[in-house]
Structure 1
Amino acid sequence: MSFTSGWNRRSFLSSVGAAAGSLFAPKAAFGKSKDKSNDKINMKHGVDGSPIVPITSGLGSTGDIYAELGVKPLINTVGTVTVIGGSVMKPEVMELIRRGNEHFVLIDELEIAAGKFIANLCKSPAGYTGLVTGGAAAAMVVGYAGMMTEDLEPRMKMIPDVADFPRNEVIIQKSHRYNFDHQIRQTGAKLIEVVTREEMIAAINPKTVAIHFTNIQSDNGKVSGPETVEIARAHNIYTFNDASADVPPVSRLWEYPAVGFDMVTFSGGKDICGPQASGILIGKEELIRWSLMNMSPQEDRIGRCCKVGKETIFGLLKALEIFVNQDYDATLRMYDARAQLISDAIKKFGVMAKPREFNPNALGNVTPRYSWQIDPAKLKLTGNDVMQALADTKPVGIGSFGANAAGLRGRNPGEPAGGAPQERRPRTPRPGRPAPDPNSFGFAVWQLKEGEDKVIADRLVEIFSQAPKA
């Protein structure tokens, strides 16, 4: 079933108001600084990058950079997935990125200072510090590299040729295998699959360097996080917890290191709303030092490609500070208000709001999900029809229905011509999860910007107005 959209760029801009202003006119995102003393300091020192200037020619001069490149932007009803940009940074974060551009600095010195800031903000255990990385995946690369190379220069130059390293095996539960264990393997480490606690203990040998724990798969494995730490400590090997998508709740920033994991990583570009290419690695000071030695700005390192700029470091620190200090109850009330606005707009079509789904202790991308029930006795369309129509909206799409969250996939020579494209490895299904209702649709509202709930409501009214009646 297809729906035409009567929207054009002018009507969209009119309906979205302030939200569209920030979306299509980024050059107006910040006004002139009111801090005159800061302006005087900047002028005195001749700091480059301080003024905010209008763009009058070339790319950006129209105020609509996406249209200039011929790319359709999206309203995010999907979540903090990388293929659509993760999250949107707050104005304060963008301002710290701008200020981070004002000076040159020794990146290693800045990283060490940032690590202390992170450790203090995140209530890290004594002897732990932090590191800003180029994403959680990059944290895994440099973290595992550090475990194997330590601070030995010959090893740092040889990795990923680790055959002669004394310890180069990483144990992982079979149920914890996932798309991102590629980042462990790219260091040259060999993954050893186990299922039970007994198998985990039996797999430990002199070549074992660490046990990897995939936090989002915690409830699928037979060995818990605390048990993993206990086993590793008893055998003098490291533990690494990939908790990239597992905040909120914010308390996990300090709870997981407190369990005793030697390293824990969180994504900076998900609900923390920092720069998309940022991550946080919290771990023991010696391991963090070795990790930094294996990444940019150092040269001839496996992590040289995991470069983190000074601007990203400052942006991530500000985003993390805002995230830690937020009133999450107030945030939830804001989400509810957005969903209520949509519900009020479409109830006249017999489309009714379903109970909010929210488990604050869930694993991965914790946020309320809102859904609505279509009365098949009134409207002849399915939930999939609605989601596709939202995605097809122009000039700004709403969601990305049908998009592969893993991104572009290559062809499989072993499949016959015209075979199905390779999909990402699915997570193990959880028992008791009900089958999807074809007459319902839903999405998350946590990544909406101000005014976008009204845009969605208006578009849904248009979709249901055009839908065939039952």
Structure 2
Amino acid sequence: MGIYQQLGLKQVINASGKMTALGASAVHPSIAKAMGEAAMDYVEISELMIVAGRHIAEATGAEDGCPTSGAAAGIAISVAAVIAGCHLSLIERLPFSEGMKNKIIIQKGHAVHFGASVQQMIALGGGKVVEVGHANHVEADHLREAIDDQTAALLYVKSHHAIQKGMQSLDTMIQLGREFGLPVIVDAAAEEDLRRYVAMGADLVIYSGGKAIGGPTSGFIAGRADLVAACRAQYKGVGRAMKVGKEAIAGLLAALGQYDPEKQNVTEQRRRVEWLAGELDRLPGVKARIAQDEAGREIYRVQVQLDKRVTGMTAHELTRQLEQGNPAIFTRNHYVNTGVIAFDPRPFHEGQEHIIAARMKELLQKQGEGE
């Protein structure tokens, strides 16, 4: 019996992805061991932060790094850093930034909700959000004309949540940043390539520790040494409310140390999705296909379209029944309103695709029999 079942909770099969709502990643035993050892000893946190920054820099190719409690905290801390720098009197004023250079420019299609809103994370860091362009169309002039003497930074969101068409590229944002002498912040929370955006010239890049790299709930910021120093300084201000513990830092560094984006076992993931797609496509009223991640990552999922006339239930009703079972099965349901759900193989434990196929067959058979 697992720890959560000992607490009286249902077993969860995560077919949604590395989602915060389901605990992000199930860490490797070596990462859990590092966290356990860290929990049983003491360390000077300020020194740990500096050393962690060196490890983050080595993993990302950045000048320095700063651990955070998560990617959302990374947004707030990065924004606070570009507004207040290392000036303690300003740090202690945030998030109240009246009279300070505090505007953060973001493309309208990047002003997304990921469980909370990007705009709120910016505001927590003292930023005044300036959304430019339209939800599906932004031109470089929209960005350029929004920049004024109160602009503190440009923020680019690289995410499957963001609109993927009609937005200006990160290259354009970086060029504008250089043109106007403004830092460019990249929210790359779930991205797998830890070096790409630093190499492109982004000034601060934010990652989740619990997503692609498979670490504990945590995050980190990589980038320019002066701005990263300002990020660390925010732990004397708004960062205090989102501080990261020694255990999470130890687990994060262990995950970074063994992370290799070239060894993410895509072959095994494809095997699982091909098998599951074949099983589900045989069910009446179900069309199953393999689909690549919306943001272009090397992630493949089973995408299922339901024909309500045959299945007798909507995709929303099906996901609800899957979640109410024991084990509870959570799907990736960003498009459930269109009748589409998806199954992400990355979080599966051994053989869980077979449980999913059997449960889907059971539910649709019951519905067909009028139960």
Alignment TM-score, normalising by the size of structure 1: 0.68
Q: Judging changes above 3 Å, is the alpha-carbon distance between structure 1 residues 232 and 374 closer, same or farther for their aligned structure 2 residues?
A: closer
- Is residue 305 of structure 1 aligned with residue 264 of structure 2? no
Match for residue 241 of structure 1 among 173, 181, 186: 186
Residue 83 of structure 2 aligns with which residue?
148
Name the structure 2 match of 1:460.
360
Q: CA deviation at 1:194?
A: 2.4
Distance 1:381 1:152 in 2: 58
Q: Is the counterpart of residue 265 in structure 1 residue 206 in structure 2?
A: yes
CA-CA distance at 1:25 after TM superposition: 3.1
* Structure showing greater Rg: 1
**Contact 1:269/1:275 (8 A) holds in 2:** yes
For residues 97 and 272 of structure 2, the distance between their equivalents in structure 1, rounded to whole angstroms, comes to 52
Gaps of 5+ in 2: 134-138
- Give the C-alpha shift of residue 65 in structure 1: 2.6
Instruction: Evaluate the alpha carbon distance shift between residue 221 and residue 238 of structure 1 in structure 2; reply closer, same or farther with a 3 A threshold.
Output: farther
Residue 187 of structure 1, CA deviation = 2.5
* Equivalences, count: 358
Whether 1:335 aligns to 2:269 is yes
CA contact (8 A) 2:186 2:206 kept: yes
Q: Give 1:218 shift.
A: 6.5
CA distance in 2, matches of 1:202, 1:346: 51
1:389 to 292, 313, 321: 321
| Structure 1 pair 401–168 and aligned structure 2 pair: CA distance change class (3 A) | closer
Equivalent position of 1:51 in the other structure: none
2:143 to 181, 197, 200: 200
Q: How far apart, CA to CA, are the structure 1 residues paired with 2:314 and 2:106? A: 41
More deviation in 343-352 or 172-181? 343-352
**SS state of the match for residue 320, structure 2?**
helix
For each residue in 1:392-425, what CA deviation from the matched residue of structure 2 results, as whole angstroms up to 9, or x when unmatched?
212x2111688xx8xxxxxxxxxxxxxxxxxxxx
* Closer, same or farther: CA 282–344 of 1 in aligned 2, 3 Å: same
**CA spacing shift, 1:99–1:352, aligned 2, 3 Å:** same
Query: Partner of 1:369: helix, strand, or coil?
Result: strand
Cα shift at 1:222 = 4.1
Shift of 1:88: 1.6
Q: 1:398 is matched with which residue? A: 329
- Pick from 23, 26, 30 the counterpart of residue 88 of structure 1: 26
Of 74, 93, 98, 1:163 maps to 98
Aligned residue for 1:279?
219
Q: 1:40-119 alignment to 2 at 5 Å?
A: 64-67=5-8, 71-119=9-57
C-alpha change, 1:343 and 1:159, in structure 2 (3 Å) is closer
Q: Deviations over 1:297-326 (max 9, x none)?
A: x4xx11101111111011112223333255
The letter for the 2-side match of 1:456 is I
Partners of 1:239 and 1:262 within 8 A in 2: yes
What is the match of residue 316 of structure 1? Answer: 252
Q: Measure how far apart 1:356 and its partner are.
A: 1.4
Residues of 2 paired with 1:192 and 1:352: CA distance?
43
2:136 matched to which residue of 1? none
- Counterpart selection for 2:234 from 286, 294, 297: 294
Measured against aligned partners, the alpha-carbon deviations of 1:102-144 in whole angstroms (never above 9, x if no partner) come to: 32111121111111112212233xxx21111011111111111
Cα gap change, 1:379/1:236 in structure 2, threshold over 3 Å: closer, same or farther? closer
Q: Given that residues 66 and 72 in structure 1 are in contact (C-alpha distance below 8 angstroms), is that contact kept between their aligned partners in structure 2?
A: no
Q: Quick check: 1:168–1:209 contact (8 Å CA) kept in 2? A: yes
Task: Please state how far the C-alpha of 1:190 moved relative to its aligned partner.
Answer: 1.6
> Higher strand proportion, which one?
2
Q: Give the letter for the 1:134 counterpart.
A: S
How far apart are 1:242 and its partner, in Å? 0.9
Cα 1:280–1:453, aligned 2, differ >3 Å: closer, same or farther? same
Consecutive unaligned residues of structure 1, counting only runs of 5 or more, are 1-23, 27-62, 406-432
For 1:442 and 1:364, how far apart are their aligned partners in 2? 16
The match for 1:25 is 2
Q: Which amino acid aligns with 1:206?
A: D
Q: Deviation string for 1:344-391 (max 9, x for gaps)?
A: 6667756877331125xx428762111457798986555555433322
